[in-house]
Amino acid sequence: MNENRDNSIEINKEEFREIGHKLIDDISEFISSIDKKPVTVNESPSQLQSILGNTSLPKNGISATELIPRVTDLLLNHSLFNGHPKFLGYITSSASPIGALADLLAASINPNVGAHILSPMATEIEKQTVQWLAEFIGVSPSYGGILVSGGNMANFTAFLAARTAKSPKSIKEDGLSTISKRLTVYCSKTTHTWIDKAAILFGLGTNSIRWIQTDSSNRMNIEVLEETIKEDIENGLQPFMVIGTAGDVSTGVIDNLKEIATICKAFNLWFHIDGAYGVPAAVLPDYKNLFDGLSEADSIALDPHKWLYSPLEAGCTLVKNPQHLIDTFSSHPEYYNFTSTEGENAQNYYEFGMQNSRGFRALKVWLTLQQVGRNGYQKLISEDIELSQILFDLAKNHPELKAVSQNLSITTFRFVPLNFEGDTDYLNELNEELLNELQTSGELFISNAMVNEMYCLRACIVNFRTSKKDIKEITEIIIREGRKTHSKLSKQKS
Ligand SMILES: *Cc1c(COP(=O)(O)O)cnc(C)c1O
């Protein structure tokens, strides 16, 4: 080895500049022309594998100057672009370009945001980001929390805090097995699948979930909730948590949070709100009342990588009393020397959640929040909602479309052939077939939802690039493809 180490991983200054400039040029070109590209090129796994090449791990290194253009080409030409203006599938937003710059900078500094001493400014930025998120949705600044990888993790983190808070103190040493009364959790039928995963992973089992039926507006039926809790207590169970959904994934409906809060108070239960999709809409003065009760939640899950347009991955758990997170997640091994800095209490994020070493995912959220500002977000979010309403109206007024539901920025609808006299089974099949055609066409991307047993097409607009023109074109494409699919399918059937 030489006196000065010369190695294959460092990139010298000139080379880094050259590759970096070229990469930024390619990315800016990509962003500015994303609407001209197909949403997806729809290649099969085997096609992709052959494009990628079936080579084994390189024995000798390849220069970055060669690698970066190669992978840029692979990704720019063989990806699905959720930043495309006609991508309205699932709940996946277009990503703020400043978030891409943030990730580059974050990776360059590479702070480990598990401990303050390892990430001094990054930890403070994350704390400020969490505070701003609480402020954004309008809850008290006393809420604290942590950024996690997404909605599932944000909900899991809250679930575990609730479990610790509402179980006997011995749970940390003895686990669930010694708890004499079975812990039970309450949520509406529309709750996202994270709750199944949480019940399975964290030792409760799915039979501990009480799926409360919904009323005619698709919100949790509060009377049934209360009766079920009472019955369970009589039967020797231990209710500990109720989950309200603020924007359900299928149709965007928000539970009656205020009434759930009242029940939680009456029975001393943890009140959690899953706002992964919808809670950013609380920033709109006109929508604030829909979220009445939000500030009574013990915990709230939100997802900056959805309606705050952060690049993946960014979720957030907010907890009214953040001490519950420390009670749940903190442990102090001997080899950690992370206590205090000059007498002040430094916040160590490893004590707030499941991760130990943590990346700087806060930076992209922090920067986007500032670039857009509260007013900017009010405009973007209300325009997404308006576009969703325009889509609903177009569907309502077109003889070959049936508008089904519209809440927040989610519209569900279906294609119905002119003078149709067949049965619902056929319509379900037709719309499913149509969706498959649309998703692979590359012209647009939407997803599906079952609403009152109807298979529906579903558009969720969390996309700052979508315009009125896109919405009109999308309905035209759907009608054109719907006719084709119907003609093909009805021939097969006859
Ligand atoms: C998206 C979503 C989740 C899951 O979030 P991920 O970021 O995909 O992990 C959970 N709950 C609701 C209501 C959601 O919309």
The fold for domain 373-493 equals Aspartate Aminotransferase, domain 1 (3.90.1150)
CATH architecture of 111-359: 3-Layer(aba) Sandwich (3.40)
Supply the residue whose CA is at minimum distance from atom 6 of ligand 1.
Answer: 151
Supply the residue whose CA is at minimum distance from atom 4 of ligand 1.
Answer: 151
Cis peptide before 259 (omega within 30 of 0): no
Q: Which of 58, 139, 40 shows the shortest CA–CA distance to 441?
A: 40
The predicted-structure confidence for 118-165, as pLDDT tens digits, reads as follows 999 999 999 999 999 999 999 999 999 999 999 999 999 999 999 999
- Distance from residue 342's CA to the centre of ligand 1 (Å): 40
Tell me which H or E stretch contains 14. Answer: helix 13-32
Q: Does ligand 1 have an atom closer than 6 angstroms to the CB of 159?
A: no
Distance CA 302, CA 468 (A): 27
Give average pLDDT by consecutive 10-residue segment, the chain, 494 residues: 83 97 98 97 95 91 96 97 97 97 98 97 98 98 96 98 93 87 96 97 96 94 98 98 97 97 98 98 97 98 98 98 95 66 79 97 98 98 98 98 97 96 93 97 97 95 98 98 96 85
State whether the Cα torsion 11-17-22-26 is positive or negative.
Answer: positive
The predicted pLDDT at position 341 comes to 52
Q: Which residue has the tokens 């206590």?
A: 339
The alpha carbon of residue 9 and the mean position of all alpha carbons in its chain are separated, in whole angstroms, by 35
The predicted pLDDT at position 462 comes to 98
Tell me which H or E stretch contains 341. Answer: strand 340-341
- Distance from residue 192's CA to the centre of ligand 1 (Å): 7
The predicted pLDDT at position 178 comes to 82
- Degrees, nearest 5: CA angle 452-457-458: 90
The predicted pLDDT at position 5 comes to 82
Q: Does ligand 1 have an atom closer than 6 angstroms to the CB of 315?
A: yes
3-state secondary structure of 127: helix
Atom of ligand 1 nearest to the CA of 90: 1
Average model confidence (pLDDT) across the chain: 95
Tell me which H or E stretch contains 323. Answer: helix 323-329
- Distance from residue 276's CA to the centre of ligand 1 (Å): 5
* Domain spans in the chain, listed from the N-terminal domain onward: 13-80, 111-359, 373-493
Tell me which H or E stretch contains 345. Answer: strand 344-345
Phi-psi region of 102 (alpha: psi -120 to 50; beta: other; left: phi over 0): alpha
3-state secondary structure of 142: coil
- Distance from residue 132's CA to the centre of ligand 1 (Å): 21
The predicted pLDDT at position 335 comes to 64
Q: Which residue has the tokens 């019940």?
A: 199
The predicted pLDDT at position 169 comes to 86
Distance CA 284, CA 384 (A): 12
Q: Does ligand 1 have an atom closer than 6 angstroms to the CB of 273?
A: no
Integer angstrom CA distances of residue 177 from 163, 173, 468: 14, 11, 56
Integer angstrom CA distances of residue 407 from 78, 213, 247, 404, 461: 33, 19, 8, 11, 11
The predicted-structure confidence for 398-426, as pLDDT tens digits, reads as follows 999 999 999 999 999 999 999 998 888 99
The predicted pLDDT at position 340 comes to 54
The predicted pLDDT at position 494 comes to 78
Q: Does ligand 1 have an atom closer than 6 angstroms to the CB of 255?
A: no
pTM: 0.96
- Which among 92, 148, 159, 194 is the best mutation to test ligand 1's pocket, defined by most ligand atoms within 8 Å of the CB? 194
Q: Does ligand 1 have an atom closer than 6 angstroms to the CB of 362?
A: no
DSSP state of 313: -
3-state secondary structure of 301: strand
Distance CA 369, CA 34 (A): 23
The predicted pLDDT at position 334 comes to 63
